[in-house]
Amino acid sequence: MIVGKEDARAGKTGVGVRYVLAVSLTLAVVAMIIVYLGVI
């Protein structure tokens, strides 16, 4: 049985997910820079 793209997906990613990922990535990079520079 061949399943179409829409049926295989069968869900919708929340609109805010990309913003949460972007903010998390930014905070992680900032934290690593702070630790690397030894500012803490």
Q: What is the pLDDT along the chain (40 residues), one digit of tens a residue?
A: 777 766 666 666 677 888 999 999 999 999 999 999 987 5
Radius of gyration for the chain, computed over Cα atoms and rounded to the nearest angstrom:
18
Q: So what's the pLDDT on residue 37?
A: 93
Specify whether the backbone of 38 is left (phi greater than 0), alpha (psi in -120 to 50) or beta. Answer: left
Two tokens, residue 24: 């998390």
Q: So what's the pLDDT on residue 12?
A: 67
Contact predicate 40/34, CB 8 Å: yes
CA atoms within 13 A on the CB side of 7: 4
Q: So what's the pLDDT on residue 15?
A: 72
Q: So what's the pLDDT on residue 35?
A: 92
